[in-house]
Structure 1
Amino acid sequence: MKTKTNTVLEQHQELRTKCLVYTRVMGYHRPVESFNIGKKGEHKQRLHFKES
């Protein structure tokens, strides 16, 4: 099933740039794409919050 968003993204594929997501792991930053499958799953389950 194609959604409107998927259709728009496919139409403008040549204009898109790759975005790397970094996270802080044990005191340094690492790109999420370099994680193994288990670590990627843990990253998706993290809760985001704003400290007041």
Structure 2
Amino acid sequence: MNTIQTSPAAQTAATLSDDERQPCEIWTRVMGYHRPMSSFNIGKKGEFHERKYFTEQGARLAA
């Protein structure tokens, strides 16, 4: 098995000033293909933020 070794210096959180930050583009799957949220209209953006996320339970085997 391969393992990755990191130094403690590599694990520290980076601190950035506001001028060093850049926007992050969010994509989501719509009707079978992926689209950036920046192309959504106001209504579709509202729908995206109202979505409820869930985790499926594993299948149970019958005895």
Between the two structures, name the one with larger relative contact order (CA 8 Å, sep ≥ 6): 1
- The normalised TM-score by structure 2 is 0.58
Computed over aligned residues only, the root mean square deviation of the Cα atoms, in angstroms, reads: 1.6
Residue 25 of structure 1 is matched in structure 2 by 30
Percent identity, aligned pairs only, is 55
- The normalised TM-score by structure 1 is 0.68
2:21 to 16, 25, 43: 16
Structure 2 unaligned regions, length at least 5: 1-15, 58-63
Structure 1 unaligned regions, length at least 5: 1-10
Aligned length: 42
